[in-house]
Structure 1
């Protein structure tokens, strides 16, 4: 709902919009897209099927901007032979490539995935990371890193390691809602000493 009372339909809370057996989504994570609500799972992860071997796990308070999406392992083609053409998927008796590697794709808590980012199969994105616009994430991203480019590379860490360690220990995303709302100003202004006092 916008301040003037207009219902904004392009942003959905994923936990309420997605029913998919291979997706686990934390509270308050949202995604902005222009499709119908019931199309959200297919827009977010177009190749993640109910029969896929991998899962997409998204933490709490994740923000996913328009045009971003996840490429799962079922989009891969065999590359060990002399052709990459997926002959087997067109025959129900031979469907699939069970020997293709796969890992679950995991997005930590409070991750910001900016406009048109692509997240490849099997990566883990640490808590508090920021994925820059149009980045292509092909490998694991540490907590509180800012990455960008194709393939995505570290631009900088958001905080020194001792602050990152403290934030991971405090884990504000696990707080009950009343504690979170009461201390929102501390989180928003980055008041480290006040945050320490709450730990």
Structure 2
């Protein structure tokens, strides 16, 4: 578990991280959950977001607040250098195979530069895959088993292999209003005061638009 995660676990709103999870060089926000056998590598998990169930991977990814990510999801899974003569990982995990005293930092930097971004209040269903470089924007839904190879716009629902647009959760005016309200940026006290208003869309917009 990374140093930053260890520090944040001591706070009042400490994350709940399963002992079997592997968290490396990552930043974990408040009120977060990481389930069993999840791997989080050089990533950010925003406040209230959770990695549910078991056996998922998040690598080189920024995840915003209030995201719901189901079991067996892979975000920015392992990428191989197809442009090289050999794409096997012995070319970059060289130490493991005794080819070099150092690993190939150029390759890992390439992975970092092809990072993923998941904005706020995104739901990613069981077994979905989000490929390198993809940006999933606020309020979007990725169906179970989908393979996302392209950016997903705010409040869109996508499904399939490769993932395709199905519909938008709300009409364009409602989406614009919700993005303008940006309730995910409210502080804890404001959330507590307004918490019961989240259940009804029409009244929520009437109050806060």
For the criterion TM > 0.5, the same-fold answer is yes
Query: 2-side partners of 1:31 and 1:125: how far apart?
Result: 16
Gaps of at least 5 residues in structure 1 are 1-12, 36-42, 49-54
The aligned length equals 169
- Secondary structure of 1:98's partner? helix
Deviation at 1:98, TM superposition (A): 2.5
Match status 1:169 vs 2:180: yes
Higher strand proportion (structure 1 or 2): 2
Instruction: Sort the Cα spacing of 1:14 and 1:164 in 2 relative to 1 into closer, same or farther, 3 A.
Output: farther
Match of 1:77 among 56, 60, 80: 80
Deviation at 1:80, TM superposition (A): 2.6
Q: Which residue of 1 aligns with 2:70?
A: 65
1:34-79: CA deviation from partner (whole Å, max 9, x where unpaired): 46xxxxxxx333xx3xxxxxx311111100111212134xx22222
Match of 1:111 among 116, 122, 130: 122
Instruction: Sort the Cα spacing of 1:33 and 1:16 in 2 relative to 1 into closer, same or farther, 3 A.
Output: same
Match of 1:98 among 69, 83, 106: 106
Higher relative contact order (CA 8 A, sep 6+): 1
Q: Which residue of 2 aligns with 1:39?
A: none
TM-score w.r.t. length of structure 1: 0.73
Gaps of at least 5 residues in structure 2 are 1-12, 26-41
Deviation at 1:83, TM superposition (A): 4.5
Between 57-66 and 179-188, report the one with greater CA deviation: 179-188
Q: Which residue of 2 aligns with 1:24?
A: 44
Deviation at 1:81, TM superposition (A): 4.7
- Secondary structure of 2:175's partner? helix
Q: Which residue of 2 aligns with 1:8?
A: none
Instruction: Sort the Cα spacing of 1:179 and 1:96 in 2 relative to 1 into closer, same or farther, 3 A.
Output: same
- Secondary structure of 2:167's partner? strand
Deviation at 1:152, TM superposition (A): 0.7
Structure 1 segments of 4+ aligned residues over 6 angstroms from their partners = none
Query: 1-side partners of 2:166 and 2:48: how far apart?
Result: 27
Instruction: Sort the Cα spacing of 1:91 and 1:66 in 2 relative to 1 into closer, same or farther, 3 A.
Output: closer
